[in-house]
Amino acid sequence: MMQIKNARATERHIEHIKDSAQSNIADGHDSQHDSAKPVPKKHKARLLILRSGAAGITENEILRHCRLSSGRNYISDLERRLDIQFERIDEANPDGIGSHFRYRFNKRADVQKVIDLVNSSAVVNGHLPLNQLDVDDILKLYPDALTAE
């Protein structure tokens, strides 16, 4: 009987570790330090937008991956805060009813502005900023043709 209880406790512990690892990766970090605070949804949304690459991201993708009420608000906030403009592409919904926007960066310099905001906010709010490897990986997602004016 005791072996069954121990086995169940071990299984629960392993599931907890798996869930934590998957959550950290989805949050944009491969590991979470004990001293780091939980990552806010705004930070998660900004990382998702950055990692969308040249293909861009839809409002629905932001909602689905970050569990937010409005993906459009996070795009608009970045535009206002950083004086940037995203390209907006109107796409039909898969069910054929209505449409939504796909947002893409217009300039690589705008990508860097969002990276700088993410890192400064992370420092202020006590969670992990992007390291140089993360920054390099993000910038590789945007073609050289997407250059500053």
The yes-or-no verdict on residue 147 having pLDDT over 90 is no
CATH of the domain at 102: 1.10.10
| Predicted confidence (pLDDT) per residue in 88-125, tens digit | 999 988 888 888 899 999 999 999 999 999 999 999 98
Give mean pLDDT, residues 127-146: 89
Q: Are residues 149 and 122 in the same domain?
A: yes
pLDDT-derived band at 82 (thresholds 50, 70, 90) equals very high
Q: Does position 26 have pLDDT exceeding 70, yes or no?
A: no
Tell me what pLDDT residue 40 has. 82
- The count of structural domains within the chain is 2
Domain shared by 88 and 142, yes or no? yes
Domain that holds residue 113: 39-149
Read off the pLDDT band of 30 (50, 70, 90). Answer: very low
Q: Contact 148/107 with Cβ under 8 angstroms?
A: yes
Closest CA to 122 of 26, 37, 24, 33: 37
The pTM score is 0.70
- Supply the pLDDT for residue 100: 86
Query: What is the rounded CA–CA span in Å between residue 80 and residue 121?
Result: 16
Tokens matching residue 84:
């940037």
% of residues, the chain, pLDDT over 70: 68
With 60 as the cut, is the pLDDT of residue 70 above it? yes
Residue 72 lies in a domain: yes
